[in-house]
A and B are shown apart, each in its own frame.
Chain A
């Protein structure tokens, strides 16, 4: 009897999961205008006892590049990219629109929907047809989510949503053909990019009551695990398999090739163990995941380190060997996701993680590649944000950290002028100010 009940529950859950996902796939997107009313998310100041500042639309439309995602498709650079790709234009090509707009099928576009709104509200928060009603009626966040609102407050869900474009997947991927046609490279780190978007939410008492207290370290680690998992999916995808001696170069580290030939570049790196002159699979996020995993699951971190080395070695062996190692790396990252979700990132974690990120750069054989440096800086940004938001450090301690963080950002501002020595100096300056 108990068994039967259990089955019934599971069956019900499965039914709901399936209908929910079916709903998410075919609901109507009502358009940015439906959200931007001056009594809703387009208010100049909060109205009554609103739980949110209500200026979300303004932040997005005035400061957030997502608002321009569509309009850039008609600028000169996009025209040239389209021409190089043999496309009539960029603003009508699904290849471009799938990430540069909320490109749902025409049947799912409501009367106020405009493709030209770019990456609008519902591109991230989900088509509002089914949840706008309860949302307006003051339903709880949980009830809204049940009705189809996308739970962007949950680290894993946020990672999946953002990375679906910012790294890509089976259907959306900036291949090297698109890069070669002129698309810019796409650095990403979930916590930092949430902050610099800029965020159109404020973590206050009400937010915490409704959604829980976000932990920047957890968001950072969750972003990394999902990033690595997605990248391995891309390696394993038949769509991106090597054709003869032709590889999907977007899986590799941009600066591994796109660097000046004027200076000696090569240095031994303990996390790659590659000889000079070889192209390196992009691994900056995997190296950071190693650091994060060491707090969450030291065994997973050890296994990841071993298989990352094997993955790099495999590129000198065969694509089958690469896929074999990618499968293992993917599994490790995948298993880390629930562990990161349930891990309580403490003050001790903040201390250990910040020092470990510094060490990943400064230790002998550390990662001083541009992509690595970029991820280290954003990792430190997230950890310092956690120190600040969770009260692990006071203002007096934070001020010198934030000041020296500027030096780190300057050192990684440009991939072509990046100098490891300058970066190392900036990193030393930063690490000397670490309060815990």
Chain B
């Protein structure tokens, strides 16, 4: 009886969001605020609460180590103030334009009593407004029940990719265009699996996690992240808002370092099939997806490559040709999303992917490629370790070799080519059986 009642309550709760709002109803999905989650007996615990599935220190990790926590605060800093000035805004901290990614900027009527905009990208920015699910969540409902009641399924690769990339690349309402970059916004680098790990993650994949959430692998997260990132890129290209204005296309679609490089005496051959001196469309996500697809769905890999090369060529022809090829790239990426989300990447798969990445690194020296290759190797290392395919000692050797790869990047804009190639060789050795 008790169980039935609970189930009925859960169903009722779940029905709320999916039925949508009708006028006069109190708003659903109210964001209650970080303080609601941060109790010492909940997610702000210094030691694991009794019978808890999770360590309970999630709030502490976020507030002490996770940059999402200072996302709002940076809007008050000198750099943001200067950027706002350049954009003709009075400040950054009150602008929807900035707040939509630098805070949990829900409308006023969806902010609960403990909600504070200054909490930055707080719990509910990613996990969803808790008013519908907090009750059952603290009452011990299952994860599936919480999700049914409105908790965002951040563990699912596709859902996680959609949520993270809505800011870390952009979507139809949020987009870091070149005007924003020109005003001084830092470049957005991203890879879903690596960034999940270095956030740092405030979850631990243990038996309890796997039982509740299922086994999700680093390679699924990596490959789905690449596919969704590419889809979002193509969506932005196809968005009429970002069509060329006057003489110029939206530069944010292009590879930053394609223009922003020193022009010392080292001119590189292009990788786009276009002549020297042409601006390169950012194809790093496409390249990673192509490498992954070559192992899992070779036909899609070929389609991706052909459409992306045609897109590069179209950038020196006309924008409608770019749009046409963007449709092709998007369709190829879309066809891979579900396949990757459920693909069982074996140890052999991972080693083959690593070899493909090492081989590619020798063929060009494009910064955005090097960066994504490094992130991919991070995901592969994590995947190999968690798959049980390698010993702990081997894992340590690989970790050390990977550190050398990262060390080849003196900053987030340049790579020391010789050190990078040497470190990749070391990692290649370390990864072999």
Interface residues of A, Cβ cutoff 8 Å to B? 77, 80-81, 84-85, 175-182, 184-185, 242-247, 249, 254, 257-262, 264-268, 275-279, 314-319, 321-322, 416
The contact sample of 24 A-B pairs, CB cut-off 8 A, is A84-B269, A177-B277, A177-B278, A179-B263, A179-B277, A180-B276, A180-B278, A181-B267, A182-B265, A184-B263, A184-B265, A185-B263, A243-B317, A257-B259, A257-B260, A258-B259, A264-B79, A275-B182, A278-B179, A278-B182, A316-B245, A316-B246, A318-B247, A319-B247
B182 touches A259 (CB 8 A): no
Interface core residue of B82, B178, B244, B247 (most chain A CB under 10 Å): B247
Known: A177-B277, A264-B83. A318 touches B246 (CB 8 A): yes
In the complex the two chains form, what is the Cα distance from A322 to B246 in whole Å?
10
Binary A-proximity of B321-359 (CB < 8 A = 1, otherwise 0): 110000000000000000000000000000000000000
In the complex the two chains form, what is the Cα distance from A144 to B322 in whole Å?
59
Binary A-proximity of B186-218 (CB < 8 A = 1, otherwise 0): 110000000000000000000000000000000
In the complex the two chains form, what is the Cα distance from A257 to B186 in whole Å?
15
Q: Which residue of B lies closest to A180 (CB)?
A: B277
A176 touches B277 (CB 8 A): yes
Q: Which residue of B lies closest to A256 (CB)?
A: B259
Complex interface: stretch among B140-148, B248-256, B302-310: B248-256
Q: A184-B265, A275-B179, A278-B182 are in contact. List 8 more A-B contacts (CB 8 A).
A: A84-B269, A176-B278, A177-B275, A181-B267, A275-B88, A277-B183, A278-B248, A316-B247
Contacts of B180 in A (CB 8 A): 276-277
Binary A-proximity of B115-147 (CB < 8 A = 1, otherwise 0): 000000000000000000000000000000000
A317 touches B275 (CB 8 A): no
B141 CB to nearest chain A CB (Å): 47
Q: Which residue of A lies closest to B413 (CB)?
A: A261
Whether B15 is near chain A, meaning CB under 8 Å from some CB there, is no
Q: Which of A244, A260, A277, A416 contacts B251 (CB 8 A)?
A: A277
Whether B316 is near chain A, meaning CB under 8 Å from some CB there, is yes
Contacts of A314 in B (CB 8 A): 246
Q: Which of B82, B182, B275, B413 contacts A262 (CB 8 A)?
A: B413
B181 touches A259 (CB 8 A): no
In the complex the two chains form, what is the Cα distance from A181 to B268 in whole Å?
7
Interface residues of B, Cβ cutoff 8 Å to A? 79, 82-83, 86-88, 177-184, 186-187, 244-249, 251, 256, 259-263, 265-267, 269-270, 275-279, 315-319, 321-322, 411, 413
B184 touches A264 (CB 8 A): yes
Q: Which of A180, A244, A264, A266 contacts B275 (CB 8 A)?
A: A180
A77 touches B265 (CB 8 A): yes
In the complex the two chains form, what is the Cα distance from A264 to B279 in whole Å?
22
A262 CB to nearest chain B CB (Å): 7
B182 touches A266 (CB 8 A): yes
In the complex the two chains form, what is the Cα distance from A171 to B244 in whole Å?
30
Q: Which residue of B lies closest to A313 (CB)?
A: B246
Interface core residue of A179, A245, A279 (most chain B CB under 10 Å): A245
B179 CB to nearest chain A CB (Å): 4
Q: Which of B178, B259, B260, B315 contacts A245 (CB 8 A)?
A: B315
A259 touches B260 (CB 8 A): yes
Contacts of A184 in B (CB 8 A): 263, 265
In the complex the two chains form, what is the Cα distance from A182 to B269 in whole Å?
10
A244 touches B248 (CB 8 A): no
Contacts of B248 in A (CB 8 A): 245, 278-279, 315-316
Known: A81-B267, A245-B249, A276-B179. A261 touches B277 (CB 8 A): no
